Structure 1
Amino acid sequence: HLLSELTGGSVAITTDPYKIVLRSELLNHQQVLEILRNRPLEELRSALKEAVERSHFFAWRLVQVAKRMGVLDREAEITAPVVQKLQTALRATPAHQEAYREVVEKDLDVEQTFRVLEKIREGEVEVVDLGKRKEPTPVASLFWKQPAFYLEPVAPKRMRALILASARARLVSEVRVLACVECLQYVEEKKMYELDERPSCPLCGSRRLGMADSTEEEVREALELRRKGRSTKLWRELLGSAKLLERSGKLAALALAGRGVRPEAAQRILSAAGEFGDRFIELVVEEERRALFRSFLSGRSSLKPE
């Protein structure tokens, strides 16, 4: 919102749990830094409120509230001009206030956003300027590798559905190596959708199948070392996952297929959601976010001078 005012042009934006992407021919990183570091906090709070009221999130909520209150016919055709007129007509009304309340409670965490801005000023959160880079950062590169992307907000209900559908498709397509920790002979790479509901070793029939995000060669080596009485980190990983797969089958494998999801986190997911539904996927995505944050903190620690 402030960047659009500052540049005098439109600034396109897209977000996901890991990043915010801004794009404009008139925008540079110094302008972003200036707002984050130097603008008065009260100006930022006011701008946040105005940005919420101009967002697609607010427009979508306002339409829903207007329909619930009978201000707008439930079968009315909703077009951009209709929404604009609705926003003008309902300003400073209970419908406007209710829509704003729902947005900040369900869609956009305004208070936490403002708290982050405060922490930047207080030095608790550091803003790092990487300058102009020839290559995007690892997190940013995931965005640019997408075959298509749209730099605009999506209505909250649709956004949630898209995120869940995307995560569901990704999880069932993940590839992992399965190994039998009973006979120590069976090793096979599998896609999650190829698994039986209760997978078992085709050689000995045991349900004690471990799973790892490693190569078949690495897993075979870990099993060979185990046969010689040695316990490796990968072997312990296989044992931990085998306990979950023995109890919960394919569902456990899907939880462990989340990026960076550890066995203890997978157990929490399985305890909270007993089927492969929206709640299960939301919990996996949340654990993936935590894993990414841990990785980020670990990377920063390794960069600290001795």
Structure 2
Amino acid sequence: KDMLTKSTVKTGLFKRRVIHVARRFGALKKWADFSNVSLQKVVTSFEGTPIYEEGLKEVFSKDLDADNLVHVLKMIHDGEVELQAVETCGYATPVARVGIERVSMKTDLIPPERMRAVLVESAKARLLNETGNFICTNCWSYSEMIRINDLPDKPKCPRCGSNSLGLLKVEEERALSLVDKKGEKLVKSEEKLRGFAVETAELTARYGKPAAVGLSARKVTSKDIASVLQKEPKLTDKFYELVLEVERKTLSKRFS
């Protein structure tokens, strides 16, 4: 099954399913169609998300007959079924022709002018649906889990009115430990967490919601997002492109 899954995710059929699921989830606009550029980047951007898993689930339930495929392969292996080569003089067989007609190679492609828009829409949907642990670094009396999309443009602490809200991507219990101790007399791990809170709070105080959106990206640092915000402080297409670029660079460093 693992080998079949690894092979399946490389197919145009799987990519098409992911795109359809992404449209249903609202992660991609319905106008995104296919033409000249590989969709691998788009599909990869959904890895680890419900969209990716649902796409895989639909391929196995609607497009493939995995159980019978394994059964036939076993029969071939055991010699119960014999394979014969058919000379076609370069022409597709009737069965192959049906497959070619039904699964057009165009399902792997998207117009270059729309690739940028598709990637931006994907990033926007993903980042705005992230949830962060926001903690006030001014009074240390407030901590709350909030979906990024639900944030106001200039988030404030409901207790003291400060704009200094740090964003921590940790379990709620860990953030609450800082509130319980009012940010003081902390153990080493809590001191480190406090440092992250203060760093991110400086960005949210200055840039508001765009800072929170950027900080919700994968494996990024406060320094990474500060650089993005200096170039584009608003939630524009350029902002999301810059965040995607930071994510790509971070990912490449991990595997270099």
CA distance in structure 1 between the aligned counterparts of 2:48 and 2:126, rounded to whole angstroms:
18
- Is residue 282 from structure 1 mapped to residue 225 from structure 2 by the alignment? no
Aligned Cα root-mean-square deviation (Å)? 3.0
Measured in 1, the distance between the counterparts of 2:166 and 2:10 equals 42
Distance (whole Å) between structure 2 residues aligned to residue 151 and residue 253 of structure 1: 35
> Structure 2 CA distance, aligned partners of 1:141 and 1:190?
21
Across the two proteins, how many residue pairs are aligned to each other?
Answer: 170
Contact 1:184 1:227 in 2 (8 A): no
For residue 179 of structure 1, the aligned residue among 126, 135, 146 is 135
Tell me the SS of whatever aligns to 1:214. coil
Residue number in structure 1 paired with 2:174: 218
Shift of 1:283: 0.5
- 1:248 Cα deviation (Å)? 0.7
1:254 to 203, 213, 224: 213
Instruction: Determine helix, strand or coil for the equivalent of 1:232.
Output: helix
Q: How does 1:145-160 map to 2 (within 5 A)?
A: 145-147=53-55, 152-160=108-116
- Alpha-carbon distance in 1 for matches of 2:200, 2:225: 9
Q: CA deviation at 1:229?
A: 4.7
> Aligned residue for 2:121?
165
Give 3-state SS (helix, strand or coil) of 1:189's partner.
strand
1:88-167 → structure 2 map (5 Å cutoff): 144-147=52-55, 152-167=108-123
Q: Residue 295 in 1 paired to residue 254 in 2? A: yes
Given residue 199 of structure 1, which amino acid in structure 2 is its aligned partner?
Answer: P
Residue identity matched to 2:10: L
Match of 2:31 in 1: none
Structure 2 partner of 1:227: 184
Give the TM-score normalised by the residue count of structure 1: 0.50
| TM-score, normalisation: structure 2 | 0.59
Mapped partners of 2:107, 2:178: distance in 1: 45
Classify 1:222/1:151 alpha carbon distance in 2 versus 1 (closer, same or farther; 3 Å).
farther
User: Which protein, 1 or 2, shows the higher relative CO under an 8 Å CA cutoff with sep ≥ 6?
Assistant: 2
Question: How far did 1:219 drift?
Answer: 0.7
Give percent identity, aligned residues only.
Answer: 30
